[in-house]
């Protein structure tokens, strides 16, 4: 079968690009071997946020002295499953957009314009002048003894638990590790985090990361920083061996979460035979998301540029513009300003440069701060833990923005827009903000 565009993978990048392409008059075949929505919907962004919401509610109730029964996790998982199914059904409806053909099966390149798909009904072959690879990523495992032992779970498996361990060890203090640490602490689990770097959330501003760690520590989470996991030993209890400050140490637990990142999912595509260049980081692409083979593009986690669902979507739009011959710098510029968030309690969010990056580059800047504890809405919500931190050039340009506190993931977008449009912090200071609202913390920082 001949078509205009083949998209391999129906995660956020894949299905959003398919819908936009179809609305532009393109004929699209989109191939998915697992479930619509990809990792984000089925085992990442959405299900973890469902559990985060329940965990936040538990924290509020606990602060008010309300005790809950031990079945809360099962109830939270049921809510998560219902939410995911509703969203998956919505994507299925989108896949019925005129011009889109959804094929369920595993894809493999035959040549640079041909893809073979193994389906339950047999093999199907599709050809197109343009192909977009959007196959996402898979869980990484440390190359240590016991990494695949019984009782070692990935984030995917953590999301289907219906009973709680008493003690949980999380190997990895990145976004995935910190979100699960926060969630399971709220459910009453004893959590210890083993992180190889000197601070949690390595890509984030160190000041913000330290403040978040301090907040999580007050909630009862134990951290081992600069600690390299050496081995995981099965048994009851399990034992995790790690080296911290030059000394070999161990901790006992009932379950281990392996949260050391994700790797580009390229294994079954047959890339070597068609000459697509890639590395352990991911498939190499240019500014239009085009690979080393003209006409073939790679978007999302599989190219390793930015492992965020919203980045995948905009990368898909960038590739589509190039495919349709309407390429401009709009999406390339947009992809220079990508906000990110951690849905812990409290939340953390950032956009732009960190203090460490600016200092290393020798860039002159000022740091402007305001605090949740001075905001009326935050106090009314019992959410006085947090701050807004703006990094500003001498002429008022916003170089980076960092928020720790309630609804940080929502508040960051005003600052992302300011950066995207090239505005000055003074523009923010002269914009009226509703009272009482958390957005006034952002306003206060701009006036600091």
Which token pair is 316?
């898909």
Q: Kindly state the helix (H) or strand (E) to which residue 388 belongs, with its residue range.
A: strand 387-392
Structure confidence at residue 162 as a pLDDT band (50, 70, 90): confident
- Tell me whether strands 130-133 and 296-298 are parallel, antiparallel or unpaired: parallel
Judge whether 53 counts as a catalytic residue. no
Which token pair is 322?
């190039």
CA distance to 144, 203, 259, 265, 297, per residue, from 279 (Å) = 22, 21, 21, 11, 15
Q: Which residue has the higher pLDDT, 235 or 132?
A: 132
> Under 8 Å CB-to-CB from 416, ≥6 apart: which residues?
337, 339, 351, 401
Which token pair is 284?
């190499």
Which token pair is 244?
């911290």
CA distance to 29, 107, 133, 440, per residue, from 296 (Å) = 14, 14, 7, 46
Query: pLDDT tens for residues 114-150?
Result: 999 999 889 999 999 999 999 999 999 999 999 999 9
Residue-level pLDDT at 337: 96
Residue listed under structure tokens 């590739």: 319
Query: pLDDT tens for residues 370-380?
Result: 999 999 999 99
CATH number for the domain spanning 400: value is 3.30.390.30
Q: Which residue has the higher pLDDT, 272 or 58?
A: 272
Which token pair is 153?
């779970």
DSSP state of 220: T
Looking at the fold, whether 183 and 121 belong to one and the same domain comes out as no
Residue 392's domain comprises: 346-447
Looking at the fold, whether 416 and 268 belong to one and the same domain comes out as no
Q: Is residue 256 part of a domain?
A: yes
Q: Is residue 248 part of a domain?
A: yes
Residue-level pLDDT at 60: 77
Contact (Cβ atoms closer than 8 angstroms) between residue 50 and residue 83: yes
Peptide bond between residue 130 and the one before it cis (omega within 30 degrees of 0): no
Looking at the fold, whether 123 and 21 belong to one and the same domain comes out as yes
Strand partners, 239: 233, 252
Q: Is residue 397 part of a domain?
A: yes
CA 40 – CA 388 distance, rounded (Å): 27
Looking at the fold, whether 243 and 379 belong to one and the same domain comes out as no
Q: Is residue 339 part of a domain?
A: no
What mean pLDDT do residues 167-172 have?
A: 98
Looking at the fold, whether 277 and 414 belong to one and the same domain comes out as no
Query: pLDDT tens for residues 75-119?
Result: 888 888 899 899 999 999 999 999 999 999 999 999 999 999 999
Peptide bond between residue 346 and the one before it cis (omega within 30 degrees of 0): yes
What mean pLDDT do residues 30-41 have?
A: 89
Q: Which of 304, 334, 364 is the last residue of a domain?
A: 334
Supply φ then ψ for residue 125, to 5 degrees.
-120, 135
Supply φ then ψ for residue 353, to 5 degrees.
-85, 155
Q: Is residue 341 part of a domain?
A: no
What mean pLDDT do residues 158-183 have?
A: 95
Please report the DSSP string for 109-135 in residue order. EEETTEEEEEETTEEEEEE-SEEEE--
Q: Kindly state the helix (H) or strand (E) to which residue 271 belongs, with its residue range.
A: helix 271-274
Q: Is residue 142 part of a domain?
A: no
What mean pLDDT do residues 250-277 have?
A: 95
Number of domain units in the chain: 3
Residue listed under structure tokens 């959590």: 191
CA 307 – CA 149 distance, rounded (Å): 27
Q: Is residue 201 part of a domain?
A: yes
Q: Is residue 297 part of a domain?
A: yes
206: number of CA atoms within 13 Å, CB side?
Answer: 8
Contact (Cβ atoms closer than 8 angstroms) between residue 29 and residue 56: no
Looking at the fold, whether 245 and 356 belong to one and the same domain comes out as no
Which token pair is 172?
């990895």
Residue-level pLDDT at 344: 96
Residue listed under structure tokens 């807004």: 388
Contact (Cβ atoms closer than 8 angstroms) between residue 166 and residue 73: no
Burial class (CB in 10 A: 0-12, 13-18, 19+), 47: buried
CA 238 – CA 2 distance, rounded (Å): 54
Structure confidence at residue 269 as a pLDDT band (50, 70, 90): very high
Q: Look up the pTM and report it.
A: 0.92
CATH number for the domain spanning 221: value is 3.50.50.60
Contact (Cβ atoms closer than 8 angstroms) between residue 1 and residue 126: yes
Which token pair is 26?
């393109």
293 pLDDT higher than 90: yes
Looking at the fold, whether 177 and 208 belong to one and the same domain comes out as yes
Residue-level pLDDT at 67: 61
Contact (Cβ atoms closer than 8 angstroms) between residue 207 and residue 358: no
Looking at the fold, whether 176 and 94 belong to one and the same domain comes out as no
CA 267 – CA 131 distance, rounded (Å): 17
Looking at the fold, whether 9 and 92 belong to one and the same domain comes out as yes
Q: From the candidates 402, 413, 433, 435, give the one annotated as an active-site residue.
A: 435
CA 326 – CA 19 distance, rounded (Å): 17
Query: pLDDT tens for residues 396-429?
Result: 999 999 999 999 999 999 999 999 999 999 999 9
Residue-level pLDDT at 375: 97
Strands of 387-392's sheet, edge to edge? 340-342, 348-352, 398-404, 387-392, 366-371
Looking at the fold, whether 132 and 166 belong to one and the same domain comes out as no
Looking at the fold, whether 250 and 272 belong to one and the same domain comes out as no
Q: Which of 226, 261, 296 is the last residue of a domain?
A: 261
Query: pLDDT tens for residues 338-373?
Result: 999 999 999 999 999 999 999 999 999 999 999 999
What average pLDDT is seen over the chain?
94
Q: Which of 210, 235, 261 is the last residue of a domain?
A: 261
> Under 8 Å CB-to-CB from 104, ≥6 apart: which residues?
31, 32, 33, 119, 120
Looking at the fold, whether 133 and 205 belong to one and the same domain comes out as no
Residue-level pLDDT at 71: 65
């Amino acid at each position: 079968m001949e078509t205009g565009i083949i998209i391999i993978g129906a995660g956020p990048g894949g299905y959003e690009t398919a819908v936009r392409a179809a609305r532009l008059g393109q004929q699209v075949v989109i191939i998915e071997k697992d479930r619509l929505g990809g990792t984000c919907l089925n085992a990442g962004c959405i299900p973890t946020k469902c559990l985060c919401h329940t965990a936040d509610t538990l924290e509020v109730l606990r602060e008010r002295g309300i005790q809950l029964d031990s079945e809360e996790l099962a109830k939270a998982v049921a809510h998560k499953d219902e939410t995911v199914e509703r969203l998956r059904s919505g994507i299925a409806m989108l896949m019925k957009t005129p011009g889109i053909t959804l094929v369920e099966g595993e894809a493999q390149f035959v040549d640079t314009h041909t893809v073979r798909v193994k389906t339950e009904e047999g093999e199907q072959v599709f050809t197109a002048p343009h192909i977009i690879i959007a196959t996402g990523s898979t869980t990484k495992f440390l190359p240590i003894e016991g990494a695949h032992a019984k009782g070692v779970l990935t984030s995917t498996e953590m999301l289907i638990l219906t009973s709680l361990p008493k003690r949980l060890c999380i190997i990895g203090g990145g976004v995935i590790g910190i979100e699960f640490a926060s969630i399971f602490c709220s459910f009453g689990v004893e959590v210890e985090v083993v992180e190889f770097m000197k601070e949690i959330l390595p890509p984030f501003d160190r000041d913000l990361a330290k403040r978040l760690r301090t907040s999580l520590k007050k909630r009862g989470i134990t951290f081992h920083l600069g600690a390299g996991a050496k081995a995981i030993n099965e048994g009851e209890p399990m034992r995790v061996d790690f080296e911290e400050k030059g000394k070999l140490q161990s901790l006992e637990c009932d379950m281990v979460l392996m949260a050391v990142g994700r790797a580009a999912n390229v294994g079954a595509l047959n890339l070597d035979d068609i000459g697509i260049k890639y590395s352990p980081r991911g498939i190499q692409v240019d500014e239009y998301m085009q690979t080393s083979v003209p006409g073939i593009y790679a978007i999302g986690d599989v190219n390793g540029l930015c492992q965020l669902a919203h980045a995948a979507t905009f990368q898909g739009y960038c590739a589509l513009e190039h495919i349709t011959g309407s390429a401009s710098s709009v999406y390339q510029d947009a992809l220079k300003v990508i906000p990110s968030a951690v849905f812990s309690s409290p939340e953390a969010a950032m956009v732009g440069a960190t203090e460490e990056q600016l200092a290393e580059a020798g860039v002159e800047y000022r740091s402007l701060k305001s605090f949740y504890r001075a905001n009326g809405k935050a106090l009314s919500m019992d959410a006085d833990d947090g701050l807004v931190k703006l990094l500003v050039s001498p002429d008022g340009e916003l170089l980076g923005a960092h928020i720790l506190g309630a609804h940080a993931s929502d508040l960051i977008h005003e600052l992302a827009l300011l950066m995207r449009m090239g505005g000055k912090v003074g523009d923010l200071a002269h914009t009226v903000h509703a009272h009482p609202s958390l957005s006034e913390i952002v306003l206060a920082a701009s006036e600091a």
